[in-house]
Amino acid sequence: MTLPTLGTLRPLPAADHPDLLAPPVAAALAAWPHAGSLAVTPIDAELADTAAFGEAYGVPPEASANCVVVAGRRDGAERVAACVVRADTRADINNVVRRLLGVRKCSFLSMERAVAESGMEYGGITPLGLPQAWRVLVDERATAIETAVIGSGTRGSKLLLPGELLALLPGAETVTDLAR
């Protein structure tokens, strides 16, 4: 198997390195049939944020995908979604996401809640291994990334995978123009 590579990152088979992943990500990866196509690479946790990461490791923003978690309420029920968009775009929370969730107002989930409910570190939250009740909305442009870099659930590593696999994540819904 050939692992995806990018910039100066040192890819390792993700399935063989659960120690580099947050526990819910490692568990989801173990059950996902496409796990063999994913690589994990250790990084400096201080450089996990997109701009610093890209500069330090030679990864252009259009090769990274960010995951943001949002929520809204309708008829007393909360609706939560993780939105995966290319790092050089922003999720259209106030229009597209709000309509998809069927809510009047949508906002980012607080850092405390996102961390507590996902079991992942802030700045490393990824669409793999999220709570089943959360929707996973993937911008179509993210699925076109040849080798996509996403979080691993921790700030100390990143996952690399063919972008087309983002559409095959458990529960993923591919959305045209999720981001602007």
Whether 87 contacts 66, CB under 8 Å: yes
The pTM for the full model equals: 0.94
Domains and CATH numbers, the chain: 12-175 (3.90.960.10)
3-state secondary structure of 106: strand
Q: Residues in the chain with pLDDT < 70? A: 1
pLDDT at 1: 60
Q: What is the pLDDT of residues 6-18, one digit of tens each?
A: 899 999 999 999 9
Residue in this structure with the two tokens 């990152």, named with its chain if needed:
9
For 93-106, write each residue's pLDDT tens digit: 999 999 999 999 99
CA 174 to chain centre: 13
